A and B are shown apart, each in its own frame.
Chain A
Amino acid sequence: MQTGLEVDAEEVGVMGPAMTPTGVLNAGESGYMVTGLKSVGDLKVGDTLTLAKRRAEQALAGYREVKPMVFCGLFPVDSDDYPDLRDALEKLSLNDASLQWEPETSQALGFGFRCGFLGLLHMDIVRERLEREYDLELLATTPNVEYEVTTTAGDELEVRSPAELPPATNIESIREPYVRCTVLVPSDGVGAVMGLCQERRGKYVTMTPIEQRQQLIYDLPLAEIVTDFYDQLKSRTKGYASLDYELVGYRESPLVKLDVLLAGDPVDALSMIVHKDMAYGRGKVLVERLQKTIPRQLFDVPIQAAIGGRVVARETVKARRKDVLAKCYGGDISRKRKLLEKQKEGKKRMKQVGSVEVPQEAFLSVLTLGNDDGKGK
């Protein structure tokens, strides 16, 4: 009813578990319907189906338009796979109407797609399916949420990636999505959960005992739970805590863009939007992580974290000092050449970002940033 689409029911039946035509399905029954529809995108999950001739007066309550909440960039590790990734996303969209995607270009990672997901689980599943079912090697950027920005000129913007954020001087205010998290945890895990929620800018709502467990409710910025909140929650409660969350709306937050510069050039895929008070700590941890993950190269590689042009943290990957093949005589030449070829193979798994070779782990290191900034575990 929401789409206003009319189709012919060519066959209806029940799943039992094989498809069994019954000729008729009554209100409240579950079953299947065969139509001439070509694209699942024409249908909305949760919509009400009714007869075109004898229309229901109103759709069943509870339907909500699905809206992606979590976004990340998906880039093929091998840029030649870009067309394959597009085909894969198209095919995946055929049976997953909630997946949204549009082309995105990153200076650091080349051509890829910015994808929108219903939540974290959805994101993991899509990525996993793309890799397994379509045999693609993907690089996923840090997941982020959608921000609402009011510019000083009074315009309203929807920002889905750090790169889209206007310069700080043009921003009047930023609002970010908040979710209400319900965590069920045995009583001895309450402290750990509260600690985690506080670290992640959580606002305590209530705590209710339910049998031997406690139900904790916190309001948290969605951005704080899209990285590794769930992993942390599980690891800090020996796996006992469970998490459920739902969107409760947008709230204004003092957010800034944290840029990362490698050898002086900003790397868009590593930048992120963070709370002002956390920017310094995150920047420091991030450059330390990158310093450890980026291998030594022929020249020094300075790594800087900056907020609006002001550098808040800096580390340097020192240039290589020794990289030689010790012995090379008549009997070794082919073997030495193969060693160089093998070294090259290792380099292939790295992304050339400007003059710097960056391994994939470096991009992943941003994902787990929440771990050890501030008080950590």
Chain B
Amino acid sequence: MSGPAAHLYLHLPFCAARCGYCAFVVEVGYAAALRAELAMEAGRLGPLSTVYLGGGTPTLMRPRRLRGILDDLRPRLADGAEVSIEANPETVDREQLRELRAIGITRISLGAQSFRPHLLAGLDRGATPDQVRSAVACAQDAGFASVSVDLMFGVPGQSPEDLEADLAEVVALGVDHISWYELEIKEGTALERMGAELPDEDRAADAYERVVEGLEAAGYRWYETANFARPGHECRHSLAYWSAADYLGVGVGAVSTVAGRRWRNAPGVDRYIAALEAGSAPRRDVEELDTDTLRRERWMLGLRVDRDLDTGWAGPPDHPEALERLERGGLLRRAGTRVALTRRGRFVQNAVLQELMEYV
């Protein structure tokens, strides 16, 4: 488990405007500080098998700066490394996408959220459906190894017909990977302040089941709770999180987990930059993860993916007797030391976890 981290997350907190559901820290201008922190933490890194540039909207950063960061990283990349970037469709054009590919980005994830104009407006998304379609097409032309699109269900005002339209549209685009999230209303977001109401459990379940069914029928594998991929296009960086691997996060607000220790860089871009300019580490909240916490996290993460969880690796559940009850109820499968959720179980994984583990 310990040893150098093979997964790096870089937080690029830039957005042209804040979307209705966003709780990320956002500000402009801090590439130098980021590179300074990366240099400071380099000792924790081994050859990198995955890098993820997340935000915010990383593509709002000037290409010259982005190139500088990637130049720093290039010597650290393992062969065949996956380098992902997040982008908002309205912030990228054909030229820029080619450039991203040229500086070594292999995978792009476009935040579409929906193709329905009235839903995009409700989420304060700047892109029009046409911009989303065009961004996807340009990304596919630019030659990324994988193109992914983010979509949402459970959006206030989203009818079953809206959902069908989004499904048909994304399938027609033929992307390699789709992340389809249920909308969460987080504290401090515009949606929360507006008092937006989420659909009830049955309606949300209808939508979720329809998403899974529709994408599977189109040849995508439901490889994680909210993620679907054509064979070979799973996001390896995310898979690292779900297999509880160590990862280093660099940038304001970024989280790292290395050798049983988790820390989060404090929010506040100004203070982050100031600390690094002064040659010191940014202020961090540190959390020591004891063996029980790690074991419970391995279950929480491991049951998200459609692969078996090896209890030899994850450790035993707190309530082993629940395994049989869940198996009898058709929520879980067992074979030797391996455990996996059934299809029905995957839809109610929190409740299953509560039966198995003692999240005190």
Contact = CB atoms under 8 A, between A and B. Distances in A.
Q: Do A and B bind each other?
A: yes
B205 A340 contact: no
B287 interface: yes
A295 B348 CA distance: 14
A326 B182 contact: yes
The secondary structure that dominates the A interface is loop
A363 B301 CA distance: 36
Contacts of A344: 354, 358-360
Contact of B293 (A325, A328, A330, A337): A337
B257 interface: yes
Contacts of A326: 181-184, 225-226
A336 interface: yes
Most buried by A among B226, B256, B357: B226
Interface in B161-208: 181-184, 201-202, 204-205, 208
A129 interface: no
Contact of A334 (B182, B225, B287, B355): B287
Interface stretch (A31-39, A97-105, A316-324): A316-324
A323 B255 CA distance: 25
Contacts, number: 105
A324 B182 contact: yes
B226 A340 contact: no
A333 interface: yes
Given A298-B331, A337-B293, A341-B360, A331 B350 contact: no
Query: Contact size class for B?
Result: 35 or more
B247 interface: yes
A299 B349 contact: no
Contact of A337 (B182, B241, B300, B358): B300
B351 A297 contact: yes
A240 B348 CA distance: 52
Contact of A298 (B208, B253, B329): B329
B262 interface: yes
A333 B241 contact: yes
B351 A337 contact: no
Contacts of B256: 330
B344 to A, nearest CB: 9
Interface in A284-341: 296-299, 319-331, 333-334, 336-337, 340-341
A228 B326 CA distance: 41
B9 interface: yes
B249 A321 contact: no
A325 B181 contact: no
A330 B84 CA distance: 14
A329 B225 contact: no
A325 B225 contact: yes
Contact of A340 (B208, B257, B300): B300
A234 interface: no
A337 B297 contact: yes
B9 A323 contact: no
A347 interface: yes
B353 interface: yes
A343 interface: yes
Query: Contact size class for A?
Result: 20 to 34
A320 B184 contact: no
B107 interface: no
Given A333-B241, A333-B301, A337-B293, A323 B359 contact: no
A289 B241 CA distance: 43
Contacts of B202: 321
A348 to B, nearest CB: 10
B347 A331 contact: no
Interface string A262-284: 00000000000000000000000
B92 interface: no
B298 to A, nearest CB: 11
B262 A333 contact: yes
Contact of B201 (A298, A320, A331): A320
Nearest to A336: B300
Contacts of B326: 298
A334 B262 contact: yes
A321 B264 CA distance: 34
B35 interface: no
B226 A327 contact: yes
Nearest to A331: B255
A322 B201 contact: yes
Contact of A323 (B242, B296, B351): B351
Nearest to A332: B255
Contacts of B247: 330
Contacts of A321: 201-202, 205, 209, 347-348
Most buried by A among B182, B183, B256, B287: B182
Interface string B74-110: 0000000000000000000000000000000000000
A297 B183 CA distance: 22
Most buried by A among B181, B201, B262, B331: B201
A341 B296 CA distance: 11
B230 interface: no
Most buried by B among A297, A319, A322: A322
Given A298-B331, A337-B359, A340-B300, A324 B349 contact: yes
A210 to B, nearest CB: 53
B359 A341 contact: yes
Nearest to B329: A299
A298 B352 contact: yes
A118 B25 CA distance: 62
Contact of B355 (A298, A325, A328, A336): A298
A323 B226 contact: no
B254 interface: yes
Contacts of B226: 324, 326-327
Contacts of A296: 201
Given A321-B201, A321-B205, A323-B348, 18 more contacts: A321-B202, A322-B205, A324-B225, A325-B349, A326-B181, A326-B225, A329-B241, A330-B9, A330-B241, A330-B247, A331-B9, A331-B255, A333-B297, A334-B255, A334-B287, A341-B359, A343-B350, A343-B359
14 contacts: A297-B351, A321-B202, A321-B347, A322-B208, A322-B347, A325-B349, A326-B182, A326-B225, A333-B257, A333-B301, A334-B255, A334-B287, A344-B358, A344-B360
Interface of A: 296-299, 319-331, 333-334, 336-337, 340-341, 343-344, 347
> Which 6 pairs from chain A and chain B are nearest by CB?
A321-B205, A322-B205, A340-B359, A323-B350, A326-B182, A331-B255
